Structure 1
Amino acid sequence: MEEEIKAEFNKMNFALDDEEEILKKCLAFCINYNLKPSDIVSSWEVYYLNRQLNESVVQNAEMDGFLLHLQNEQKDAIIKEEPGLHIYSSKDVDMILNADDGDAKEEVPGTPTRYSQDPYSEPFDSTPQTNGRMFSSGKPSKLITPFGQRTQKFVVKFSINNMPSVVNGEKELDPENHEDDVIRKVQPGRKCSLTVHGSKPETGCRFMYDRIEDRFNALESRIQKHAVSFASSKLYEEPVDPTVSSQKSIFTVGMICCDGEGRLNEKSTLLQSSVEHSGGQRVRLELQNLNQFSIFPGQVVGIEGHNPGGHCLIASKLVDFIPLPETADVDLHPTKKQALDKEIQSNGLSGPQAELSVIIASGPFTPTDNLFFEPLVELLAYAKRKQPQLLILLGPFVDSEHPEIEKGNTDRSFDEIFHIEILTRLQDYAEYMGSHARVILVPSIRDANHDFVFPQPAFDIQLPDLKHQITSLTNPGILEANKMFLNILAEKKSHEIQQVEHQVIAWVDYFYPLYPPAEAVPLDFSLASEALEISLIPDILVVPSDMKYFVKVLPLGGRGEGEEQVKCICINPGRLSKGEGGGTFVELNYYGTPDTSNASIIGI
């Protein structure tokens, strides 16, 4: 049979590096998996193409990886035949036999010197040194990806610590007690109330049908809404037409525009007022008299100034916020209130909860050199150890910009990758954690297996047994957990002009106020009016992007001048995977207010 295997390899123009050893292993593979020599060579061709190996030589060093490829083929074949079947890994078996929670299995030896130099590094390595689809049995493997070769794992890169246990910005950690690193461990079985506010657009909605009329109406309604808000606040005069010549100071409301297709700058800024006040005409806006400002195309602002010649509005003051109610003042629909109270009672919660523990991560969830999803495996192992009340994962999950996806170097459909690599792992996580664990999935326009439209409907996830634990949110979406509001936006673009002296975010009432939208964002105005309006100030704002990660407590200029600023934690978790290596995610403990909360950016 070895001769037959060798003949099949030669027939497909493959040479054997260590012929005797390779043929012995291939013979064992054929016996163990009931394969023919032609089947072994066909599987090797798939493995050879997926790994993008340069030489047509079968290397003995690749046999371990090839074995895992064969195991995954067998597993996928079984799953296709019996889709409801759960396959336990070697880690599950070891945990059951040893009555262990799995933490000890994840530990690997480390030198005291390296740990003493980096007290925040985790003492365990949960990365399977294989293709990531199956947990490692602990045996050494010659197939180690660049992600698996990294030395520093779970390192705190940045943190804000506002609890009494923090001294001089550093956590008081016992280097021998790893249960208290980063943020204290949440007690098992602790539930959080969860309510999704708004479900627009709906799954299966029609898109790419927006008209010019839809765009006009959406922009006009935003300008009019701001004008009414400014007037009703009694802090400013009634808005007037900014295009009319006037020697005295006036107050007007309009949208920031650019006079060309290039980038916005101080010399190209225009102000477009509403149809009611100016017939929708634009006027040049002069900003040189302002000490500080932060504007971008599509932003609706209030302007105090004068227009001496009717051609240029010289601004003396720019107001980039409108008064908004606090979250406590939000008047929910009676049905929503009743549903929320019922859920709180069913979860055993009495009254508003002051605490929320959450882990937030944004895709991609696999490095660019493979589709093994090793970062996701490590994140879930970390979450099992920390046991957060809420795990929020933002797309892309099946990244359309991944090299393997772009080139089509995969024998599985995008939906198969999503269900096998993402949902199956999340099911295992939810079952391991118990009924108190909650997982939120938010899609991205980069998800190859989902609708390419913004705003974006939620994933259509059919998990009857875990529908209360694994939930999909629209992009963008509003979530209420333990009486705290989280606004989540999976697409974020930087402002065009930023000349700010103080770290103050200009609060707007729109999830995506940039207009015209970025070229890569398929903004559909026929869906925007229902899905992009914001009716409340969040406690936590999540805005992942390719820019550098950050966690900041920011005042929101939305309560009127002279009043105490409303504060919000703004989070960019970064990307869980960057290139061939690991990225970052956020671990947050929220204690009622942003000023009494802990958050850490953790490098994976």
Structure 2
Amino acid sequence: MEDQIRAEFSKRNFVLVEEEEILQKCLTFCINYNLSPSDLVSSWDLYSINRLLEQTVSDAHMDAFRQQLQNEQKQATIEKEQGLHSYTDVTMEINDEHEDAEEVVPSSPTVQNDANLVSFDATPITNGKMHSLGKPLGLVTPFGQRKDKFVVHSTLNNLPTVHDIIMEQGEENSDEDVIKRVQPIKRCSLEIHGSQPAPGCRYMYDRIEDKFDHLENRIMKYSKALVASQLYDELVDPSVASQKTIFAVGMICCEEEGRLKEKPIMLQSSVEHSGGQRVRLELQKLEQFSIFPGQVVGVEGHNPSGHCLIATKIVDHVPLSVPDDDNLRQTKRQAVDQDNQPADPSDISSDLSLIIASGPFTTTDNLFFEPLSDLLAYAQRKQPQLLVLLGPFIDSEHPDIKKGALNKTYDELFRLEILKRLQDYVEYMGPAARVILVPSLRDAHHDHVFPQPAFDINLADINQVQFALSPSVKVGCCSVDVLKQLSIDVVSRGIKNRMNTLTNHLLSQRRHPNFHTRENSFYPLYPPAEDIPVDFSLAPEAFQMPVIPDILITPSDLALFVKVLSLEETSEAKCVCVNPGRLARGEGGGHFVELNFHGSPDSSSASVIRI
């Protein structure tokens, strides 16, 4: 078994520093937790992504890795015996040192040593019934007892803020004075580009023909875009034996059910070129690649036997071109801001301030939605132009909801706890404030289908999968944790920054200037994950990104980040990619992102804030 463990690590390009000690401990883990070598290395793969580790496996991380395995086993046991989900996001830990999650009792709170984890303040009780916070003891939660609020976790291009500028001038002012000096926010105009499922649409009526058409169209559009680029030879059938070097386009597929493995990997070409036949793809000659099932790629190589295509080069993108804004405005769109007159062109600005948060919006020990209330209080002070909230809002994985311990319907809970707070926020902020709500598959009160229709409410400007800001800031978002699903299924070699690569997979397939077809996809995986109910009759238009966004929001359980990605090595086109994390984590607070976009990603600033 040690040889199998060593082979699995080697297959995924991990280097063992203290090989003998690591293999002995990994063997013990496999025996104690009843894991196969493949499952063990998969768990380490996810662990290393969350901790932002390189491809090196060190003995120093084995204890923390063992604790993660213990928590995974504990979680699986709870789900099996009680039918409940223990909502402790073990895989979301950011720091290298891990501590076991323990239940926090309000009367005797625990103190965490890690500065980035939530710590609770042991505030004294004044009279035995009332807490010093002014609340009855029974209503004081561990979240309400925390000591630190709104701690900046990390920053991007830390530009001077209004507060910094005033303090540099030598003036000592309170936060209220600073806010009074800020100019009133300018209302941003919203436009939705492309088509999404309308509220109340029929779904789960897709046919096998819809799935076939969706996959065939993806391959054909990519093939035509590569031919139009004039950088590659004419496409041929990859399943035909040939001693010459050929160039073919197809979709990466698994030969067997389950996760994609480096052997065997199949390439399925289009019906036009090969009748939809599959051929085995050999990648031994490639020093660097990153592929996943459902990815459409171009492959250069040769097939001497007709049974195996030996790849010498993989082309996973079409050369980028800047989208034509004039043509873009002619595409199908929905104007959300119909009540406003067009702005004077001289007043057009590409500056935009956002606050981005992803659910759950309440802690697992109650349904008080305290994290959401604190977030809105922070937004009232900062006064962003746009507040982007991604579900789940009424989390179907919450313990109380799973047990059915409610005296309200899901819709009533959504309107009382979510919409009522947002109405108060909008009334306080005035007509310049904008709110975007994006549903999640975990929303108990909403349609369980992907892509999802928008919420059918009249509170604020709402959009489901993607939205664009006029005049010049383009934003895209999707509430499904596609990064985590990609991290499970991707097979790579020679990749240094894996999080950048995972995010780039959403933006890697682009249009050519002479071929106006866009293949950027919010969900490029096929087959989809087991818990993602994809409706392929709705997917083709909803999954596509009409334009390459300036800001891409991809909430995930993986390590949170805000980073600027170059869409090509030789291109200046860039995109700000944001994973805001979760606003609530277990019984404690999580994170959200404050972003100020100033015309381009390089000149923009952002802060990841722990609530």
Report the TM-score, using the length of structure 2 for normalisation: 0.70
* Amino acid of the structure 2 residue aligned with 1:447: D
Counterpart CA distance in 2 for 1:185 and 1:287 is 60
Is 1:574 the equivalent of 2:581?
yes
Report the counterpart of residue 255 of structure 1 in structure 2: 251
Counterpart of 1:486 in structure 2 is 475
Distance 1:391 1:273, change over 3 A: same
Separation in 2, partners of 1:145, 1:446: 24
Aligned identity (percent) is: 58
Task: State the match for 1:300 in structure 2.
Answer: 296
Inter-partner Cα distance in structure 1 for 2:418 and 2:336: 29
Aligned partner of 2:367 in structure 1 is 371
Structure 1 pair 395–518 and aligned structure 2 pair: CA distance change class (3 A): same
Query: What's 1:516 paired with?
Result: 527
Q: Are the aligned partners of 1:584 and 1:603 in contact in 2 as well (CA < 8 Å)?
A: yes
Structure of larger gyration radius:
1
The 8 Å contact of residues 390 and 440 in structure 1, kept in 2 or not, is answered as yes
**Partners of 2:297 and 2:316 within 8 A in 1:** yes
Summarize the Cα distance change of 1:335–1:343 in structure 2 as closer, same or farther, 3 Å threshold. Answer: farther
Q: Which runs of 5+ in 2 are unaligned?
A: 1-105, 107-114, 126-130, 510-519
Indicate the larger mover: 262-271 or 357-366: 262-271
Where does the alignment leave 5 or more consecutive residues of structure 1 unmatched?
A: 1-64, 66-117, 130-135, 464-469
Q: What amino acid sits opposite 2:577 in the alignment?
A: C
- Offset of residue 262 of structure 1: 2.3
Aligned residues: 460
Give the deviation of 1:195 after TM superposition: 1.0
Query: How far has the Cα of 1:336 moved from its partner?
Result: 6.8
The answer to whether the aligner puts 1:399 opposite 2:395 as a matched pair is yes
1:539·1:568 contact (CA, 8 Å) conserved in 2? Answer: yes
Q: Take 2:290 and 2:211, find their aligned partners in 1: how far apart are those partners?
A: 24
Residues 1:277 and 2:273 aligned together: yes
Question: Which of 538, 542, 546 is matched with 2:553 structurally?
Answer: 542
Question: Over residues 269-322 of structure 1, what are the superposed CA-to-partner deviations in whole Å (9 max), with x where a residue is unaligned?
Answer: 111000001111111111121121111100001111111111111111111112
Higher mean C-alpha displacement, 493-502 vs 360-369:
493-502
> Does residue 430 in structure 1 map to residue 426 in structure 2?
yes
Q: Which moved further from structure 2: 180-189 or 575-584?
A: 180-189
Give the aligned residue type for 2:463.
L
| Cα separation, 2, equivalents of 1:269 and 1:185 | 61
**1:471 corresponds to:** 461
Pick one of 523, 535, 551 that aligns with 2:562: 551
State the partner residue of 2:78.
Answer: none
Deviations 1:93-137 (A, max 9, x none): xxxxxxxxxxxxxxxxxxxxxxxxx9x99xxx9xxx9xxxxxx99
Q: Secondary structure at the match of 1:159?
A: strand
Greater Cα shift, 304-313 or 402-411: 304-313
Aligned positions of 1:92-241 closer than 5 A: 139-142=134-137, 143-161=139-157, 163=159, 179=175, 187-241=183-237
For 1:494, what is the secondary structure of its paired residue?
Answer: helix
2:426 counterpart SS class:
helix
Aligned to 2:328, the other structure's residue is in SS state: coil
In the alignment, the residues of structure 2 paired with residue 230 and residue 240 of structure 1 have an alpha-carbon distance, to the nearest angstrom, of 13
Q: Please state if 1:587 is matched with 2:594.
A: yes
Asked whether 1:384 is paired with 2:380, we answer yes
Please tell me whether the aligned partners of residues 292 and 501 of structure 1 are also in contact (alpha carbons under 8 angstroms).
Answer: no
| Contact 2:179/2:381 (8 A) holds in 1 | no
Distance 1:252 1:362, change over 3 A: same
Asked whether the 8 Å contact 1:327–1:538 carries over to 2, the reply is no
Q: Secondary structure, in 3 states, of the residue corresponding to 1:248? A: strand
Measured in 2, the distance between the counterparts of 1:172 and 1:296 equals 50
SS in 1 for 2:417: helix
- The structural deviation recorded for 1:480 is 1.9
Q: Paired residue for 1:50?
A: none
How far apart are the structure 2 equivalents of 1:342 and 1:551?
32
Q: Secondary structure at the match of 1:515?
A: coil
Q: Is contact 2:193–2:546 with CA below 8 Å preserved after alignment?
A: no
Q: Give distance in 2, aligned partners of 1:221 and 1:205.
A: 23
Query: Deviation per CA, 1:402-431, whole angstroms, max 9, x where unpaired?
Result: 111111000000000111100111000000
Superposed CA deviations along residues 490-540 of structure 1, whole A, max 9, x for unmatched, are 112224223313645242322211001001100000111221122311100
1:596 aligns to what?
Answer: 603
| Equivalence for 2:445 | 449
Q: 1 CA distance for matches of 2:374 and 2:277?
A: 55
Aligned match of 2:411: 415
| Matched letter for residue 443 of structure 1 | P
Q: Shift of the alpha carbon at 1:198?
A: 3.0
CA distance in 2, matches of 1:147, 1:241: 60
Aligned partners of 2:161 and 2:390: how far apart in 1? Answer: 31
Aligned to 1:107: none
The residue number in structure 2 matching 1:528 is 539
- What is the DSSP-based 3-state SS (H/G/I as helix, E as strand, rest coil) of the residue aligned with 1:220? helix
Deviation at 1:139, TM superposition (A): 2.7
Structure 2 Cα separation of the partners of residues 205 and 568 of structure 1: 32
- RMSD, aligned α-carbons: 3.3
The equivalent of 1:290 in structure 2 is 286
CA distance in 2: counterparts of 1:185 and 1:367, whole angstroms: 35
